[in-house]
Amino acid sequence: MEFKRYWQSQQKMMEKNLEEKLNQFSDGTPKELRDAMQYSLLASGKRFRPLLVLLGNRVGAGEESDAIPAACAVEMVHTYSLIHDDLPAMDDDDFRRGKPTCHKKFSEATAILAGDALLTLAFQILAQSYPASIAAVCVLELAVGAGPNGMVGGQMMDLQAENHPGLYNNSNTPVLPPATSIASSNATSSTAASVKSVVASEGISKIVSSSNSEVTANITGKSSRPFAFDNSTNAHGSPSTLSDLEYLQSIHRKKTGALIQSSLRMGFQIAQLKRYGRVNEEILHYLDRYAKSLGLCFQITDDLLDVEGNHEAVGKRVNKDAERGKFTYPGLLGLSETRIKLNEVYEVGKETLHHLHTKMDGMVADREDYLGSLLEFVMQRTH
Ligand code: IPE
Ligand code: IPE
Ligand code: MG
Ligand code: MG
Ligand code: MG
């Protein structure tokens, strides 16, 4: 089946399942809270992370029905992150998924609680939907992706970097151009130098990650999980030894990439544990690397859509990042250098997929190359 049609059919299927899950678990939930949860969760999202759970599960040769509770859980966590991201204390946005944000429609307190409730419900669904050993792996994956070393940590770094031009620049020169110059596509020469330094350092990090120096945890004896999404901060979380671009990349990897990685990893592991009682770690490693590229591409294009996107198509306000002094790719690099950087990350993702397909030869799985199509989608997305 053509990828676009496959995704549309999965979106439909997810809408139905999200609604069912909400109904199934809402006995005794106060009406206002339940309404707010439903308002944000069932608004028109792309269901990108559920799709990753489903695709990971396909690669692992699993049954689709086994991936659905995890796909619902990850979308609940993602929706909670959006509700909180939009709060006045964070990005202060009033439009999301084509509608007023949760705190605008309800109250700020209700929005905070609706986010809390979706986050908590996600873990309840995992615990109730799988045998204990698979549930434990899923809970670990989702907690790591969403938690202080993943999404929440990235959100903290994002807020700290707001309105601090030059904070992470070793030479102490301001790096965020004024809002008006963001649309200009010419990067400065110091920007070009910093692109080069990241390209060089990525070469090194590739070697480091292929020798797998990441900390791993093994809670079931069957599966391992890297706990650090990158080694970008030292023990005190200080970015002082990083270039601005490396630091920005680490924010994006955490605030957005971590949950994307968790989604694909979860789907694959559910399938493998169910079918074989163990996980093919080599395939998981390549999936993880692919998801890293995908996640970074996803947030870079999110930054681009804020500058170049259409309000109706993206379903949220545009041109907000520069106004708020957000630390973004277009803000740091300008548009044309951002596209160059995006393309580099895309190429790494493509190359990883090539390795993955070679490793998977004869293992069924991603015959239609949906993972490749998904990467293409992210590169060209308008919403
Ligand atoms: C928006 O995520 C927030 C980011 C992490 C960039 P999506 O672009 O996936 O938003 P929805 O789920 O489609 O609304
Ligand atoms: C959000 O990044 C990442 C989250 C974890 C929600 P942004 O703040 O750029 O997302 P949008 O642009 O508001 O969707
Ligand atoms: Mg934000
Ligand atoms: Mg935001
Ligand atoms: Mg954004």
pLDDT at 200: 31
Residue with CA closest to ligand 1 atom 10:
45
- The string of pLDDT tens digits covering residues 153-189 is 999 999 999 987 555 544 444 344 333 333 333 333 3
The predicted structure's pLDDT at residue 166: 53
Q: What is the pLDDT of residue 229?
A: 52
Amino acid 242: pLDDT: 74
Q: Ligand 2 mean position to 200 CA, how many Å?
A: 28
pLDDT at residue number 365? 62
> What integer pLDDT is reported at residue 283 of this predicted model?
95
Structural Rg of the chain based on CA atoms = 20
- Give pTM, 2 decimals: 0.85
CB 349 within 8 A of CB 294: yes
Could you tell me where the beta strands, DSSP code E, fall in the chain? 95-96, 99-100, 216-218, 224-226
85 lines ligand 2 (CB under 6 A): yes
What is the domain partition of the chain in residue ranges? 2-380
**What does the pLDDT read at residue 199?**
29
**Arch. (CATH architecture) of 2-380:** Orthogonal Bundle (1.10)
DSSP 320-372: -TTTTT---HHHHH-HHHHHHHHHHHHHHHHHHHHHHHHHTTTS-S-TT-HHH
Residue 70, pLDDT score:
98
pLDDT at 76: 98
Contact status, residue 230 vs residue 255, Cβ threshold 8 Å: no
Question: What is the pLDDT tens value at each position of the chain, 383 positions in all?
Answer: 899 999 999 999 999 999 999 999 999 999 999 999 999 999 999 999 999 999 999 999 999 999 999 999 999 999 999 999 999 999 999 999 999 999 999 999 999 999 999 999 999 999 999 999 999 999 999 999 999 999 999 999 999 999 875 555 444 443 443 333 333 333 333 333 333 333 233 322 222 232 222 323 333 333 444 444 554 544 344 444 578 999 999 999 999 999 999 999 999 999 999 999 999 999 999 999 999 999 999 999 999 999 999 999 999 999 999 999 999 999 999 999 999 999 999 999 999 999 998 888 756 566 789 999 999 999 999 99
Q: In angstroms, rounded to a whole number, what is the distance separating the alpha carbons of residues 41 and 307?
A: 26
47 CA closest ligand 1 atom index: 12
Q: Is the CB of 82 under 6 A from ligand 2?
A: yes
Nearest ligand 1 atom to the CA of 85 is: 3
Residues ≥6 apart with Cβ < 8 Å to 94: 86, 100, 101, 104, 317
| Residue 85 Cα: closest atom of ligand 2 | 6
